[in-house]
Amino acid sequence: MSKYDKLWGWVAAQPGDELTLTFDEVGERAGVPLDHSFLNYKKELLPHGWEVGKISMRHQTVQFHRVTD
């Protein structure tokens, strides 16, 4: 079980093809604060039909995109 499973499930349930969350929102949805290890876990989102896109340190946001075949 991954510490980001709660976040992945939430993202997968969202409508649309794109989603942008602040670092704080990611932490709230995940139930754990966002930290550098997120980069190692982000590949876990692919089986849920989504991928992590741009991570902006300047704006402190993470973009998510639905994977299309």
pTM: 0.91
Q: What is the pLDDT of residue 68?
A: 85
Contact 30, 7 (CB under 8 A): yes
Q: What is the pLDDT of residue 1?
A: 83
* Mean local confidence (pLDDT), 28-57: 96
> Is pLDDT above 90 for 27?
yes
> Rounded CA gap, 64 and 48, in Å?
12
For 49, the domain range is 5-66
User: How many distinct structural domains can be found in the chain?
Assistant: 1
> Rounded CA gap, 23 and 39, in Å?
13
* Mean local confidence (pLDDT), 10-38: 97
> Is pLDDT above 80 for 69?
no
Contact 46, 8 (CB under 8 A): no
CA end-to-end distance (rounded Å), the chain? 27
Contact 51, 3 (CB under 8 A): no
